[in-house]
Amino acid sequence: MKAMSHARRRESREHSPHVLITPTDQRYPPHLKQYLGWSPPPPLRAIGNTELLLREKIGLVCSVRIPGRVILQTYEFARHAPQEGPVMVGGFHSPMERQCLEIFLLRKVPLIICLARSIRRIRIPTSWNESLAEGRLLILSVVESTERRPTKALARNRNRVVAALSDRILVPYASPGGKTDDLVGQAARWGKTLLTFEDAGGDGLGAAGARIIR
């Protein structure tokens, strides 16, 4: 009996219910096809409210190391993000991104969380359940079910998906020469609108034409 119960628990983890969004589906974001050059475009695997894909979206990407003055400005942004405003999109992997995610969840801001791994074995954190139940959250992955663990390559691809999905991209800070800085350059070449804060600094954001928000 114990073995059977263990098997059932394992099965529920391995087969989390998800929706498959194919490239011919009307919900499939055209920006992914436009910017990422996939041939053919992969299906999206999603848990949650897929209608969030059709709304205006602001991406959030931030370097792991970030000056203290920018941390305060980023907190202020997260604390005032409107519940009825654009959907916030991110991988929410760096420390600043994770802290913003916690604030967004508490404030009931609509979210799309992009994974750098397969969605099949995801263990959904308890703090996400309310947003899922109330239609404010979509968990998204373009990773094949055989890729069970994130890698550097999958993380880079995930970040490009975040940038491609987003109508505008908020970059609190991009360390010069780092991965976020590279992503900022790519997004600028795509013609994306980049946003940052007055104290963010960094030549990369200025060269990319990032707009200052207050």
DSSP structural state of residue 83: T
Q: Above 80 in pLDDT, residue 60?
A: yes
In a 13 Å sphere around the CA of 43, the CA atoms on its Cβ side amount to: 13
CATH of residue 135's domain is 3.40.50.450
146-168 burial, b for 16+ CB within 10 Å, e for fewer?
ebeebeeebbebbbbbbbbbbeb
Does 128 reside within a domain?
yes
For 117-151, what is each residue's pLDDT tens digit? 888 878 899 999 999 999 999 999 988 766 666 67
Q: What is the pLDDT of residue 118?
A: 87
Give the three-state DSSP class for 41.
Answer: coil
| Number of domains making up the chain | 1
Does 170 reside within a domain?
yes
Query: Mean pLDDT over all residues of the chain?
Result: 85
Does 133 reside within a domain?
yes
Q: Cα–Cα distance between 117 and 62 in angstroms, integer? A: 20
Residues comprising the chain, all counted: 214
Does 72 reside within a domain?
yes
pTM above 0.85, yes or no: yes
Domain holding 15, by residue range, is 2-19+46-213
Which residues touch 140 (CB under 8 Å, ≥6 apart)? Answer: 44, 45, 46, 112, 113, 114, 115, 119, 161
Does 119 reside within a domain?
yes
